[in-house]
Amino acid sequence: MTNNEYLKMAEKVINDSHKKEVKRINKKVDIENKINTYIDWFFDECGDPRDELRYLMQLILDSEGKAKEDLLDVLSYYTISY
């Protein structure tokens, strides 16, 4: 393989890596925008915030993993301290 071919291959790897990073950043920004929009809706327009929070908590409790454990810890803490 010639030096020129190595340079082209390296350039392609860098470009591909850059494209993946840009997509990841755009996805993160998109998720943050969606979260912020949801929060705005929750505080400004949600007709039943208690029901909405119950729904979101139930989604977490129905899942498996760390989020479920974290929510159970929070619920236990506030059950004892409130």
Span 16-64, pLDDT tens digits? 777 777 677 778 878 898 999 999 999 999 999 999 999 999 999 999 8
Residue 49's identity, in one-letter code, is P
This prediction has a pTM of: 0.60
DSSP secondary structure string, the chain? --HHHHHHHHHHHHHHHHHHHHHHHHHHHHHHHHHHHHHHHHHHT-S-HHHHHHHHHHHHHHS-SHHHHHHHHHHHHHHHH-
In the chain, domain spans: 1-45, 47-82
Residue 6, pLDDT above cutoff 70: no
Q: pLDDT tens across 33-43, in order?
A: 899 999 999 99
C-beta separation of 60 from 67 below 8 A: yes
